[in-house]
Structure 1
Amino acid sequence: MKMICLLVVMTLLSFKSGAQGFIVLELFTSEGCSSCPPAEELLAKIPPDKQVYILEYHVDYWDRLGWKDPFSSHQFSERQYQYSQMLSSQVYTPQLVMNGTTECIGSDAAIVRSTIHAALSKPAKATLNVQGRIQGNKLSVSQKNILVAVVQKYAVTQVKRGENEGRTLSHIQIVRQLHLVKGTEWMDLPAGFNTEDYEIIAMSQHPSTGEIIAVSRIVPTRI
């Protein structure tokens, strides 16, 4: 798969003083990693808040170690490699990147909670409004240079090999597809997509620092 670059789009943003703060929690995880389930369990316990966006990327570099994660993608590993350069961090799991600017071990509850509180307590720099349409099993977004994540809200896997052999793992907010939208275009949706079990998240991101400038959920209309 092609690497999805970190890009910012200024024309879609509405810069407003006092816009409500948000936090995007991007967890890099794998079913092959025995240290990852506690991080996923921590994110699953975060109280619902419309300004909290959770994205779980299943990386593929664990797949050669005994268990192939059915949700893994090299594209997500590439995204983590990009963050490692921008944040001068190591590549590991479970790694949690918060608003594209800071990272920590994903199971570190104290850091995660304090970072969420700080992000939600200060106003956002901008808001993002993206419209989407669904026809059949395709999604159309008519915007430029934004990242669109198609997210499966919940899944369960019985792991048969690797470090988590014999465990039943529950996942939330699994990124199934990540698209860089460059203009008006149609993209395929995952098999079985529906608006109850999936959601679509759009992000605008700074090209050199990785900071997420704005984020929103797309509520698509069917045509």
Structure 2
Amino acid sequence: MKPFKEIALFIGLPLLFIAMAAFSHINRQQMVSRIQQDSTTRGFAVVELFTSEGCWSCPPADALIEKLQRDNNNSQLYIMAFHVDYWDHQGWKDRFSKSAFTDRQKQYAAWLRLSTIYTPQVVINGQTEMVGSDESSVLSGIRSALQEASASNLTIRATVAGKEAVISYTGIAADASTHILVALVQKNASSQVAAGENAGKQLTHVQIVRALEQQPLQAQGQVSVGLPRDFRPGAWEVVAFVQQSATGKITQAAKADL
């Protein structure tokens, strides 16, 4: 017969681990809720996820930003998913991937002095990065960004003109060291993956960047973005943001439905 202390320890440790896991889950859920509901934050968070349908470790990161985006009431949270193309040679071509998005991730590697690029990766406000499926780090990074004071005066208006989205912006001072970038974002989509590391899986996506345009910043101006053939009004939005050319820091952001 085992001594009572050993039996108590045997029973108690699993219960302790279960309690700790439950407490951690509750804390993360509370943080997600605060991020989604808090409209009085001083700052903003531009969240860029670099992902791919060909990457086996990416679906949890996609699920995390889907959870953040679902019922998101925080107008200062801007989520974008960039599908990179360097996984396309692994047997499955991601239909949302673009080499330009891989180039953007490489630029972040230079700005943030990283030795490599990887998926899934999240970059927040162009200044901090972490593994995109690391829920605790992602939520903490967003929370920190929202708590930083900012003076964002960027306002945009988006209209559809033929085969283009035309985004007018105003409210910011011209600065030769910054650019304004405009992302055309498809809010929801899904893919049945037939090959590669996620073969057989039905993958769902949110906030998919389908096009990205940038130009030198002016006090006010317009940016035109070509619309893809599958564009349908009501299921898309544009996210505009101001980014410093030398450091990658994002200083202002705004969004509008199409």
TM bucket by the smaller chain? Answer: 0.7 to 0.9
- Which residue, 41, 48, 52 being the options, matches 2:77? 52
Aligned-partner Cα distance in 1 for 2:251–2:109: 19
Computing the radius of gyration from Cα coordinates, the structure with the larger value is 2
- The residue correspondences of 1:50-129 to structure 2 (distance < 5 A) are 50-89=75-114, 90-129=116-155
* Structure 1 Cα separation of the partners of residues 120 and 227 of structure 2: 27
Contact 1:22–1:120 (CA under 8 A) maintained in structure 2: yes
SS in 2 for 1:34: coil
Give, in whole Å, the separation in 1 of the partners of 2:230 and 2:257. Answer: 17
Seen in structure 2, the aligned counterparts of structure 1 residues 32 and 19 have a Cα distance that, compared at 3 Å, is closer
For CA contacts below 8 A with separation 6 or more, give which structure has more relative contact order.
1
Q: Is the 8 A contact 2:212 2:225 kept in 1?
A: no
Match of 2:45 among 23, 27, 35: 23
The CA distance in 2 between the partners of 1:198 and 1:133, in whole Å, is: 12
Match of 2:244 in 1: 206
Q: Which moved more, 1:43-52 or 1:108-117?
A: 43-52
Aligned with 2:122: secondary structure? strand
Secondary structure in 1 matching 2:136: helix
TM-score normalized with structure 2 length: 0.74
Instruction: Give the TM-score normalised by the residue count of structure 1.
Output: 0.85
Amino acid in structure 2 at the alignment position of 1:179: E
Runs (5+) with no aligned partner, structure 1: 1-17
CA distance in 2, matches of 1:73, 1:173: 15
- Return 5+ residue gaps in structure 2 as ranges: 1-39
Q: Percent identity?
A: 44
Distance 2:152 2:222 in 1: 23
Contact 2:211 2:225 (8 Å CA) reproduced: no
- Code of the aligned partner of 2:91: G
Moved over 3 A (4+): 141-145, 181-187
| Offset at residue 142 of structure 1 (A) | 4.5
Q: Which of 113, 127, 133 pairs up with 2:159?
A: 133
Pairing 1:187–2:225 present: yes
Whether the 8 Å contact between 1:137 and 1:193 is mirrored in structure 2 is: no
- Tell me: CA distance 1:165–1:205, structure 2 relative to 1, closer, same or farther (3 Å): same
Cα distance 1:185–1:112, how it changes in 2: closer, same or farther (>3 A)?
closer
C-alpha distance in structure 2 between counterparts of 1:185 and 1:198, whole Å: 17
